[in-house]
Chain A
Amino acid sequence: MTDVIATNQTILVVGGGISGMTAALEAAECGKNVVLVEKNAALGGRVSQLYRYFPKLCHPVCGLEINQRRLKQNPRIRVLTMAEVTEITGGEGDYTATVKLAPRYVNENCTACGECGKAVDAEVPDAFNYNLSKVKAAYLPHKMAYPQRYVIDPSIIGTADADKAKAACKYGAVDLDMKEESVQFKAGAVIWATGWKPYDAAKIQPYGYDRFSNVITSVEFERLADIHGPTKGKILRPSDGKEARNIAFIQCAGSRDENHLRHCSRICCMASLKQTNYVREAYGDEGKSTIYYIDIRAIDRFEDFYQKVQKDKTVTFIKSKVAKAVQDEKTGDVVLHGVNTEGYHRYATPHDLVVLAVGMEPSVMAANLPAEIVSDSSGFIEADPSNHAFFGAGCASNPLDVNRAVQSATASALRAIQVVNRVARVEG
């Protein structure tokens, strides 16, 4: 039975992506006790699935390493993975949270030696790679996973494979009898760092994400470029594994669109500009990137990055919201149709691969959180006095880049500390 010790001076952080980790660490490094709840099997969130950051082109897992080291040596943070908050009752400074823990079927004895993974035969889609590849049904979520502990996929429970995994483990770490459990604990304030999800690209009918194999999303493209990804870092297109050298990036795929997401998702322009660098990194002058855009939103000193990409001869900018995409059955190429509005030029241009710069929407619409929370028209949590000691952090509060998400998370940590310090003063 999982035991969580918490009081109404404890801060509950929901979501273990970069925002949640930051909020938890900042508060804990200020001497506060924190429970960090993450629904996946490992911390890190979407950031851990990115290949590089804009504008520095550094690797997100570098920051993840630092944050994990901070976490490992900080006894004030209790991490619950595969956990979801199902209910919060009470009021500011005196909440009671109910958290559902899904069975991992692997206990803390796990050394991540990998023998269970070798033993099982079944494979399941690898969510870390946006299901672009498969992974053994006993797996480590990813190479940097924290906790560094395997997971047994529920689909093999009750099969011979599960027994093989159990037999392969010399350390008694595989526990097939684990059951879902529910824990309750107190918290003075709650930080919702539930993050974002890519907009469902299949809903953008004219781009054919659901029909054309060579139309992928920007988050999937990150996995293609990453050494830990399904192609081991090679930019190969899904239909035939051919090197994708001529790549189109379609901006505002879902964003700034009353039919989809009303807001601008802020990061997508920079993400595509960054991804043209992946093409250059892979193919040099032989690569070709085309960015179809409405406005390039390279805000503040990101402008430097935009200007640098503009100087790259392999990158073309076309001011146009693409009208439709059609994949040629024979060649696998995707032809984009539309009009360049700068002077009215029609185009029907073939590309090896089309990347949709999909928008951000809240991972959990604020209305669907197990608490009363005021949100904006897109479902992001707003700062509002009627939210009492519920605070949005990172992309749960707005479409933000990593830098701004971390600022937001740091700010939310202070707001939560204000509440628990007030509680502490009252309680003496």
Chain B
Amino acid sequence: MADMKVAAYICQGCGLGERLDTAALASVAKKEGKAALIKEHEFLCNADGIKMIRDDIANEAVTHVMIGACSRRAKTEAFGFTDVCVSRANLREGVIWSQPETEEARETTQEMAEDYIRMGCAEVKKMTLPEGDPAAVTERTLLVVGGGVSGMTAALEASKAGYKVVLVEKSGALGGWAAKLHKRTPGKSPYKDPQNTPVAEMAAAIEADANIKVYLNASTSKTSGAPGRFEIEISTESGSTTIEKVGAIVQATGFELYDANKLPELGYGKSANVVDQAGLEALAKAANGSPIKRPSDGGEVKTVVFVQCAGQRDDSGKHLPYCSGSCCLTSVKQAMYFKEANPDIDTVVIYTDLRMPGNGEDFYRSGQEKGVIFTKGKVSGVEAAGNQCKVSFQDLILNDQVAIDNADLVVLATGQVPNSGVDIDTKLKAEIAAAAGDNSLMEAYTASQQEGAVQPISMLNLTYRQGPDVPQLKYGFTDSHFICFPYETRRTGIYSAGPVRRPMDMVQAMEDATGAAMKAIQAIENAGLGRAAHPRSGDLSFPKVRLEGCTQCKRCTVECPFGAIDEDEKRFPLFNQARCRRCGTCMGACPVRVISFENYSIDTVGSQLKAVDVPDEFSEKPRILILACENDAYPALDMAAMNRNVYSAFVRVIPVRCLGSVNTIWINDALSSGYDGVMMMGCKHGDDYQCHFVKGSELANIRMSKIGDTLKNMSLEEERVSTFEVAITDIERVPQLINDYAALIQKIGMSPMKGF
């Protein structure tokens, strides 16, 4: 690598020239920042300014560029030099727009700007250009686990894009749940009648597709590796095993119906004439267009009652709490089976909310046109009496407790239960607590395992340190928690699709599977280039670790939100960079600070905070360090500044990738170098977490809850380190938080640590 040459550029545009003494800033960059080349420019982001920088890179061998101008969020493309290291000193939003334009404020505003120049220079000197992964490889083959409609869709769509597919199905035939259906609900205009399922057509297309290799009666008995280089052991029922190499995985393992045996109050198991939706499909399939007979005696069916939400939307804790989203459509379809065979058969659907969104309204109307009767009611019980059943319910419209005495068939619309395998989170939480010295969770977990609890069968059998399956979000579904990013789950390169991720109907499952195939293909391509996946997509940096300093504490391996780190035979952490999302949680976790990125490290942040000029105790100028999440808190600060919402001139803000990447050494360093307070601003954590690295802000919060001891050892007040949940819209709240905190610091007084 060429010798480092730092150039500092200071912009005078947007009022910087008027509000600040840029010559003094240049002198700071020279004397303290040790920049070899310093230039002021009246309008740095225009074509001329950019050309000037480009020329310096080309002609002056500049390797490191410090830009003192606007926020890193502004003019990002203009200053996006990829061949040199770049740091941005935020003088516009971070200084002149957030400070009052008054003569009295001039001095502190200038001090702020000078500090940001010091910080920018210090940071850039510690950066190196990410080299990318020289060993990056990729296998342009997808593994699809599950051969239902979701899995078949993913396989066919990936193949159409030119990728090879390995499809593993546990049963002896493709089709999954859909193969059990007589007909499906319509997926196209005019949404009036049940349609044939696409199973036969898709299975034939798969058979004819040279790109798709199918394993039936098979399971993925071992999955190791990382995106681009997964190694899959496929075991078949006959006992043979095969190894397939794939680049990414789509998990489409589907669902089972909720066990209707848990609903004896609805007559299931007490009469053959009470069936679930699968039971009715079986009857319809057997009848194949001729009238469906009564199961108990083969008698004629005259009245059918559909009980919606059976064992669903339950707030008692006994059954499924959620709605399965597809059962209303299914019941209407099933009622149509009867109406088509004989319009005189009475079909009554008892529902509380009919949930048929979008074009489902057309299907609802069609059901009504065909004479299906809909009744808003709550079923209290189903009793068998001979070959008929009595369905008792509260009619919510007529406000009447009533019964249908002579139902020949009762169909319970039970919900979808995902086939998501092993829930890894309970153990993982216990391990995280144990690594932090709290063994209680682990003891409870171990105890629960010894009570002979039946373990679910793993779907993927991942050899990952954190467990054999994809982490679950809620109720066993493997969905993403992100509304804007439905495919961002916690295992890079593994995407779930269809009802395993969320209860859904076939239309949505096919759309979802196509999207999942897209993400899998993208993961394959990114792995080949050594690039990160969302949300830091394109990032070429990845954690570098000095193993010789590692104490094998395991924090990084258990805390990584993405399960990227395994352990090698000697129990050292083994980084799988293609799994890594570059959040830096491992860097934040490491007590011996041996983990860093090329362009974001213990030193890039540490040197910045140390570069700040901390005035002495008697100056009445406290210094408050703000470590702000770059995605939410930092933009909030920017936008506050755009609104000219003023905040204290005593703060110095450093954006971090995620609060999870904050290493306590930074806090220690800040306090021992005389800062009076540290504010950490991260995203909301808890059930509705908003952290885009899933657990970063939560982990930071846990770590910081223990900072009290450190403060005590330093004889400092506990308020000197505070954590705040900040949202991107907090453009008025954040300045207020800062000002309140500055007032608090004023009250408790200056840090006694200054000047040591």
Contact between chain A and chain B defined by CB under 8 Å: yes
On whether the beta carbons of B512 and A414 are closer than 8 Å, the reply is no
Which of A87-95, A178-186, A239-247, A398-406 is the interface stretch?
A: A398-406
| CB neighbours of A399 from chain B (8 A) | 357-358
Q: In residues 442-499 of chain B, which contact A (Cβ within 8 Å)?
A: 474-475, 477, 479, 481-487
Per-position contact with B for A372-396: 1 when CB-CB < 8 Å, else 0? 0000111000111000000000000
On whether the beta carbons of B688 and A56 are closer than 8 Å, the reply is yes
A365 within 8 A of B: no
Docked Cα-Cα span, A109 to B278, in Å, equals: 64
On whether the beta carbons of A299 and B323 are closer than 8 Å, the reply is yes
On whether the beta carbons of A411 and B518 are closer than 8 Å, the reply is yes
On whether the beta carbons of B45 and A398 are closer than 8 Å, the reply is no
Q: In residues 101-158 of chain A, which contact B (Cβ within 8 Å)?
A: 109, 111-114, 143-144, 148
Docked Cα-Cα span, A307 to B317, in Å, equals: 13
On whether the beta carbons of B504 and A300 are closer than 8 Å, the reply is yes
- Minimum distance in angstroms from B159 CB to a CB of chain A: 9
Contact-residue size bin, chain A (C-beta under 8 Å from the other chain): 35 or more
Contact-residue size bin, chain B (C-beta under 8 Å from the other chain): 35 or more
Cβ 8 A contact of B639, one of A70, A111, A144, A410 = A144
Which of B209-217, B231-239, B519-527, B712-720 is the interface stretch?
A: B519-527
B190 within 8 A of A: yes
On whether the beta carbons of B74 and A148 are closer than 8 Å, the reply is yes
On whether the beta carbons of B502 and A376 are closer than 8 Å, the reply is no
A312 within 8 A of B: no
Specify the chain B residue showing the minimal Cβ separation from A402: B483
Per-position contact with B for A200-232: 1 when CB-CB < 8 Å, else 0? 000000000000000000000000001110001
A85 within 8 A of B: no
On whether the beta carbons of B13 and A59 are closer than 8 Å, the reply is no
Specify the chain B residue showing the minimal Cβ separation from A30: B522
On whether the beta carbons of A300 and B162 are closer than 8 Å, the reply is no
Specify the chain A residue showing the minimal Cβ separation from B528: A31
Cβ 8 A contact of B358, one of A266, A343, A344 = A266
B397 within 8 A of A: yes
| CB neighbours of B483 from chain A (8 A) | 53, 56, 58, 60, 63, 402-403, 406
Cβ 8 A contact of A67, one of B161, B325, B484 = B484
A163 within 8 A of B: no
On whether the beta carbons of A62 and B727 are closer than 8 Å, the reply is yes
| CB neighbours of B223 from chain A (8 A) | none
- Minimum distance in angstroms from B398 CB to a CB of chain A: 8
User: Contacts A62-B631, A65-B631, A300-B504 known; A421 to B487 CB distance under 8 Å?
Assistant: no
Specify the chain A residue showing the minimal Cβ separation from B161: A418
Docked Cα-Cα span, A29 to B517, in Å, equals: 14
Specify the chain B residue showing the minimal Cβ separation from A26: B518
A301 within 8 A of B: yes
On whether the beta carbons of A111 and B635 are closer than 8 Å, the reply is no
On whether the beta carbons of A300 and B321 are closer than 8 Å, the reply is no
Docked Cα-Cα span, A31 to B157, in Å, equals: 18
On whether the beta carbons of A406 and B484 are closer than 8 Å, the reply is yes
User: Contacts A112-B74, A406-B486 known; A264 to B526 CB distance under 8 Å?
Assistant: no
- Minimum distance in angstroms from A264 CB to a CB of chain B: 5
User: Contacts A402-B483, A421-B162 known; A342 to B518 CB distance under 8 Å?
Assistant: no
User: Contacts A62-B631, A111-B75 known; A264 to B517 CB distance under 8 Å?
Assistant: no
| CB neighbours of B515 from chain A (8 A) | 407-408, 410-411, 414
| CB neighbours of B519 from chain A (8 A) | 26, 410
- Minimum distance in angstroms from B657 CB to a CB of chain A: 11
| CB neighbours of B730 from chain A (8 A) | 227
Docked Cα-Cα span, A347 to B555, in Å, equals: 61
Docked Cα-Cα span, A54 to B630, in Å, equals: 24
Per-position contact with A for B65-78: 1 when CB-CB < 8 Å, else 0? 00000100111110
Question: 9 closest pairs, A vs B, by CB?
Answer: A63-B484, A410-B515, A411-B514, A414-B518, A343-B399, A266-B357, A295-B353, A72-B76, A300-B325
User: CB within 8 Å of B: which residues of A?
Assistant: 18, 25-26, 29-31, 47, 51, 53, 56-67, 69-70, 72-74, 109, 111-114, 143-144, 148, 170-171, 226-228, 232, 256, 262-266, 295-304, 307, 319, 341-344, 376-378, 382-384, 398-400, 402-404, 406-408, 410-411, 413-415, 417-418, 421-422, 425
User: CB within 8 Å of A: which residues of B?
Assistant: 13-15, 43, 45-46, 70, 73-77, 80, 157-158, 160-162, 188-191, 313, 315, 321-325, 353-362, 376, 396-399, 474-475, 477, 479, 481-487, 502-504, 508, 511-512, 514-515, 517-519, 521-522, 525-526, 534-535, 537-538, 631-632, 635, 639, 642-643, 683-684, 688, 690, 692, 727-732
Additional A-B contact list (17), CB under 8 Å, known A319-B396, A376-B191, A403-B483: A26-B522, A47-B484, A53-B483, A58-B684, A59-B728, A67-B484, A109-B43, A111-B13, A113-B15, A266-B357, A304-B474, A343-B396, A377-B362, A398-B359, A406-B485, A414-B161, A417-B518
